[in-house]
Amino acid sequence: MQRAGCCLLYNICIGNVEIERTIVNSGGVTAILKALDTFATDSTIQEAGCIALHNLCAKSAENRKLAAKEEAIQRVIRAMKECSGSASVQEAACKAIINLTAKNMPNKILLGEQDGINVLLKTIQRYANNPVVMEAAVTALRNVSNKCINNINIIKVQSRLNILLTALENSLQHCQQNTAIQKAGCDIISYACVDKEFVNNYSDLTLTSIYNRLISDSYALPSRNS
């Protein structure tokens, strides 16, 4: 019943702002979060709930604010932790994060404070061979780090960046047809490399070598000597 309810919510609100508004005003976000709380380890409900949040927050800044106020971000992060072995939950949760944090700096910062960066990196590490999950996770990480110095500082700790670089290198072999992964990976590295001291102090050439393998004509890594 709970899964059916979440599925109904995410299906009927796709692309219809008026229906979205009606759902939200009727307590739809609260109902979704209650289902996520009640069935925290049920992968089918977690997936459905995350997709519903993804759709409700796709085009509405107000829905993003409301969802964050009701601690939707914490629920999505928990879903990723509790259902780490479910590729479908990881994909749905990452897509929910993309929309929950779109053009919303407080939500980006909140995600970082709630261990969201580490959780995304674990998903990237675990699903580096899965192009669908990898694209969603790397895109989510790119979005939450874009113009967010708090999250960039978390990512560029060497142990975390090494996880990202290793997964991106692996994806070049297993997900080479997915340019979205490569472009998102380039963006994340570029955000970290805005800090030239970080670029100069990075301990080896892994950063440059992997970036150069990902790079397209639209991207450029700041020179270590510039």
pLDDT tens sequence across 119-166:
999 999 999 999 999 999 999 999 999 999 999 999 988 788 888 888
User: How many helices, marked H, and strands, marked E, lie in the chain?
Assistant: 15, 0
Q: Compute, in degrees rounded to 10, the torsion defined by CA atoms 56, 62, 64, 66.
A: -100
Gap between the Cα atoms of 6 and 10, Å rounded: 6
CA nearest neighbour of 155 among 168, 141, 169, 143: 141
Gap between the Cα atoms of 194 and 55, Å rounded: 33
Structure confidence at residue 60 (pLDDT)? 87
Sequence-ordered list of residues with C-beta below 8 angstroms from that of 39, at least 6 positions apart, any chain: 2, 45, 46
CB-CB neighbours of 67 under 10 Å: 27
Q: What does DSSP assign to residue 139?
A: H
Cα distances (Å, whole numbers) of residue 132 to 92, 136, 140, 180, 181 = 10, 6, 12, 10, 9
State the pTM of this model.
Answer: 0.84
Across the range 158-179, mean pLDDT stands at 80
Torsional class of 102: left (φ above 0), alpha (ψ -120 to 50), beta (otherwise): beta
Structure confidence at residue 197 (pLDDT)? 67
Q: Compute, in degrees rounded to 10, the torsion defined by CA atoms 206, 209, 215, 218.
A: 90
Gap between the Cα atoms of 149 and 193, Å rounded: 12
Residue 217 has pLDDT above 70, yes or no: no
Structure-model confidence comparison of residues 175 and 107, the more confident one: 107
Structure confidence at residue 156 (pLDDT)? 86
In whole angstroms, what separates CA 6 from the centre of its chain?
21
